[in-house]
Amino acid sequence: MQTFDLATRGLRELNQTLHALRGTTNETAWEIVNAKGSHAIAVGVDAPLDITVRGSTGYYCAGMNKQATIRIDGNAGPGVAENMMSGRVIIEGDASQYAGATGRGGLLVIKGNASSRCGISMKGIDIVVHGSIGHMSAFMAQSGNMVVLGDAGDALGDSLYEARLFVRGSVKSLGADCIEKEMRPAHLAMLAELLERGEAGHKAKPEEFRRYGSARKLYTFNVDNAAAY
């Protein structure tokens, strides 16, 4: 395992080093120490690396991740895994605002709670939250899946498109055009797989969740729905 000390070598050198590992490399296991809330740790990684960040992080950790598995041994600041393309990002603690925003692929696992706007404008990412999520989560979510073992705050799924939302706990309120939908056998099978991949298979059963999705009334303007825009 390669150990990188941010206290002595700095953030710019870290990201330059990780970016240089595109293609074939034997240096696949990395440990980053002395994170101390630094911003933009391990952004833009594009290699099948296994990176562990020791400590909590600031803004945009693991942003634009591609291929890598990035584990945060602490809490994550705003925008963790923002615009993620593939790979996995696993947070042992809590995540701040807009975790997984605009994510296009891959898997984001938050073992604690997530703050407001989790999964905002998600475009294919899968997000599994072991705790609860804040208000306006999955706002304008276009595709992908969000699984929440705890509760959801106000305006869940406001103006969403085709993303699927699964919540085990209570939902404070649904956003515009978001409705509860039937949980079919295909959804139960999908959810079982997501729980297993999200390291939550031992914590919950698919039958305990409810599914939410778009009512499809806001795709195009309709004067009868004008008050909902």
Q: Looking at the domain assignment, is residue 134 inside a domain?
A: yes
Number of domains in the chain: 1
32-59 pLDDT, tens digit per residue, is 999 999 999 999 999 999 999 999 999 9
pLDDT at 224 over 90: no
89-110 pLDDT, tens digit per residue, is 999 999 999 999 999 999 999 9
State which amino acid sits at residue 68: A
Q: Looking at the domain assignment, is residue 2 inside a domain?
A: no
- Cα–Cα nearest to 143, from 92, 211, 214: 214
The pLDDT, as a whole number, for residue 22 is: 80
Q: Looking at the domain assignment, is residue 159 inside a domain?
A: yes
Angle at CA of residue 123, ends 134 and 12, nearest 5°: 80
What is the Cα–Cα distance from 164 to 178, expressed in whole angstroms?
10
Q: Looking at the domain assignment, is residue 171 inside a domain?
A: yes
**What is the extent of the structural domain holding 149?**
97-221
pLDDT at 23 over 80: no
What is the Cα–Cα distance from 51 to 56, expressed in whole angstroms?
14
pLDDT at 27 over 90: no
- What distances in angstroms separate CA 52 from CA 23, 69, 90, 172, one per listed residue? 20, 8, 9, 35
Q: Looking at the domain assignment, is residue 47 inside a domain?
A: no
* Residues 6 or more apart in contact with residue 152 via CB below 8 angstroms: 132, 133, 137, 165, 167, 169, 170, 171, 172
Q: Looking at the domain assignment, is residue 23 inside a domain?
A: no
Structure tokens at 149: 């073992």
Q: Looking at the domain assignment, is residue 9 inside a domain?
A: no
Mean pLDDT of all residues in 174-196: 97
Q: Looking at the domain assignment, is residue 34 inside a domain?
A: no
Low-confidence winner among 24-38, 49-63, 141-155 (lowest mean pLDDT): 24-38
